[in-house]
């Protein structure tokens, strides 16, 4: 008898291990050098159990264009072996009109990223989103009104830094957005130095927390290193930075280069299953097929010798050793066509959702989305019709199973 295979997928996430050692290069200007942000970030990481080896090139007022021809900057890039390279543009330039940003900033951001990847193929460039001046940019207000206020300048900076990250398949460390949150919710914490532009110790500490969470994708709450701040202030800044980064990883393009495991499978009949993958950023593959068999192919057919439930684990890996894992269950039963008829259940659809018609035994109706995730379970009586409301346009895979293990399944699209 032809087996029925039911696939229930649960997608894993790419996670980074604890107690890591990473090499980080900071490229910027005084917003990086004031309060020694690289060293502050290193000490913060160390207090959380991670080791950062840091270096920096941060001449005062420097732009990306100047860094492209600076011997010290280029020497550090050429050194290679970086895990993260932080890129901070001159503090005002990314807030200028888009046409000016396009000509004076974006090409040099791309040039730096290209150079970084040429010497450190596995490095993650991280664009360091800075903050608006405390009272806006008075120097450029008359010629470009959006920067007349802090809020307007911050919005322009956000837009430009996210564009740089997206254009270059890179991450963005949203220090400016953490800054905005603190200003709005904790105004007693002064993030600025006396010039209303450069960071205070609290401001630099907030940036360090943002950097850590961007690198490691985990929070800084509970870090014992607090610089010269009091414990309560440091705790608040830790919480804000962690929340801003971790609540919106996709917004900040964090993980854009990670592999994404997208396994596929198809019942070929007689116990044969075709496994394949449509993964993103994956260069190698590993399959644990749940019956003692494994494979490193990206597409193959496997035969299960016996009925049963098998947990299949698929791991996608990129050339830098980053992984993503997906697991799903293959439930092979010996129910044939005749036994499906014995279940005597029909599932169709109308404008209200699913229409379940049962003329047999009571059972359980499981509904799955097209990624194999269970979205609902309904108890179905032995006879009659039952309506299961679902929105128009929904596609679901259904599986009906009676107490006697009779099974039926199918795909329904709600019109």
Using 50, 70 and 90 to split pLDDT, how confident is the model at 409? low
Give the residue-averaged pLDDT of 359-373. Answer: 72
- Nearest C-alpha neighbor of 92 from the set 152, 40, 133, 44: 133
Q: Domains in the chain, start-ordered, CATH in brackets? A: 21-246 (3.40.50.1110), 259-333 (2.60.40.10), 337-413 (2.60.40.3080)
Q: How far is CA 287 from CA 259, 273, 274, in A?
A: 15, 13, 12
- With a cut of 90, say whether residue 398 has pLDDT above it: no
For residue 412, what pLDDT band results from cuts at 50, 70 and 90?
low
pLDDT at 138 over 50: yes
Predicted local confidence at residue 395, as pLDDT: 74
| pLDDT score of 114 more than 90 | yes
Q: What is the pLDDT of residue 389?
A: 82
E strands, 31-123, in order? 51-57, 84-87
The count of other CB atoms within 10 Å of the CB of residue 287 is 20
What is residue 396's predicted lDDT score, i.e. its pLDDT? 72
pLDDT at site 120 = 98
Q: What's the average model confidence in pLDDT over 263-288?
A: 91
User: Which 3 state secondary structure label does DSSP give 49?
Assistant: coil
Q: What is the mean pLDDT of residues 56-61?
A: 98
pLDDT in tens, 28-48: 999 999 999 999 999 999 999
Task: Tell me the pLDDT band of 66, cut-offs 50, 70 and 90.
Answer: very high
- Res. 386 pLDDT band, cuts 50 70 90: confident
Q: What is the mean pLDDT of the chain?
A: 88
Task: Report the C-alpha gap between 289 and 299 in whole angstroms.
Answer: 13
Token pair for 294 = 């494994």
Decide: helix, strand or coil at residue 374: strand
**Cα 376 from chain centroid?**
26
Higher model confidence: residue 17 or residue 302? Answer: 302
Q: What is the structure's pLDDT at 270?
A: 78
Q: What is the pLDDT of residue 331?
A: 74
What is the tens place of the pLDDT at every residue in 118-135?
A: 999 999 999 999 999 999
Distance CA 328, CA 314 (A): 9
**What integer is the mean pLDDT of 346-360?**
70
Which tokens go with 117?
Answer: 């990847």
- The pLDDT, as a whole number, for residue 1 is 31
Whether pLDDT at 6 is above 60:
no
pLDDT at 283 over 70: yes
Residues 157-209 pLDDT 10s:
999 999 999 999 999 999 999 999 999 999 999 999 999 999 999 999 999 99
Per-residue pLDDT at 405: 57
Coil, strand, or helix at residue 225?
Answer: coil
Higher confidence at residue 296 or residue 14? 296
Comparing CA positions, the residue from 361, 372, 369 lying closest to residue 400 is 361
Query: Does the pLDDT at position 374 exceed 80?
Result: no
Token pair listed for 353: 């959702």
Strands 353-359 and 383-389: antiparallel
End-to-end Cα separation, the chain, in angstroms: 34
pLDDT grade for 411, boundaries at 50, 70 and 90? low
DSSP per-residue letters across 268-307: EETTEEEEEE--BS-SEEEEE-SSS-EE--SEEEEE-SS-
CB 55 within 8 A of CB 36: no
83 has pLDDT over 80: yes
């Amino acid at each position: 008898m032809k087996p029925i295979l039911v696939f229930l997928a649960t997608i894993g996430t790419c996670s980074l291990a604890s107690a890591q050692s990473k090499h980080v290069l900071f490229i910027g200007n005084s917003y990086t050098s004031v309060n020694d942000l690289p060293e502050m970030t290193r000490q913060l990481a160390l207090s959380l159990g991670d080791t950062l080896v840091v270096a920096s090139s941060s001449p005062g007022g420097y732009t990306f264009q100047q860094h492209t021809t600076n011997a010290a900057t280029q020497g550090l890039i050429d050194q290679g072996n970086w895990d993260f390279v932080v890129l901070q543009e001159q503090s005002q330039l990314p807030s200028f009109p888009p046409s000016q940003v396009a000509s004076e900033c974006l090409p040099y951001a791309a040039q730096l990223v290209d150079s970084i990847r040429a010497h450190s193929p596995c490095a993650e460039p991280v664009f360091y989103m800075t903050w608006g001046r405390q009272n806006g940019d008075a120097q450029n207000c008359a010629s470009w009104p959006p920067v007349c206020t802090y809020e307007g300048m911050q919005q322009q900076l956000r837009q430009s830094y996210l564009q740089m990250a997206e254009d270059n398949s890179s991450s963005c460390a949203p220090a400016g957005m953490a800054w905005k949150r603190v200003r709005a919710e904790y105004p007693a914490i002064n993030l600025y130095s006396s010039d209303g532009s450069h960071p205070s110790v609290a401001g630099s500490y907030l940036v360090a927390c943002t950097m850590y969470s961007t690198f490691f994708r985990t929070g800084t709450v509970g870090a014992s290193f607090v610089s010269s701040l009091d414990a309560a202030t440091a705790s608040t800044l830790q919480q804000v930075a962690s929340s801003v980064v971790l609540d919106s990883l996709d917004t900040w393009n964090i993980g854009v280069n990670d592999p994404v495991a997208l396994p596929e499978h198809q019942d070929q009949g007689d116990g044969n299953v075709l496994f394949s993958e449509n993964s993103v950023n994956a260069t190698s593959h590993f399959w644990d097929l749940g019956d003692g068999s494994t494979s490193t192919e990206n597409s193959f057919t496997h035969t299960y010798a016996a009925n049963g439930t098998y947990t299949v684990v698929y791991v996608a890996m990129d050339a830098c050793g980053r992984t993503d894992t997906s697991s799903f269950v293959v439930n092979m039963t010996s129910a044939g066509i005749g036994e499906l008829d014995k279940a005597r259940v029909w599932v169709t659809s109308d404008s209200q959702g699913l229409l379940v018609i049962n003329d047999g035994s009571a059972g359980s109706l499981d509904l799955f989305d097209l990624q194999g995730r269970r979205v609902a379970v309904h108890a179905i009586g032995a006879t009659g019709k039952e309506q299961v409301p679902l929105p128009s346009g929904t596609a679901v895979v259904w599986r009906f199973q009676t107490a006697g293990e009779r099974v039926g399944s199918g795909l329904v699209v709600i019109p």
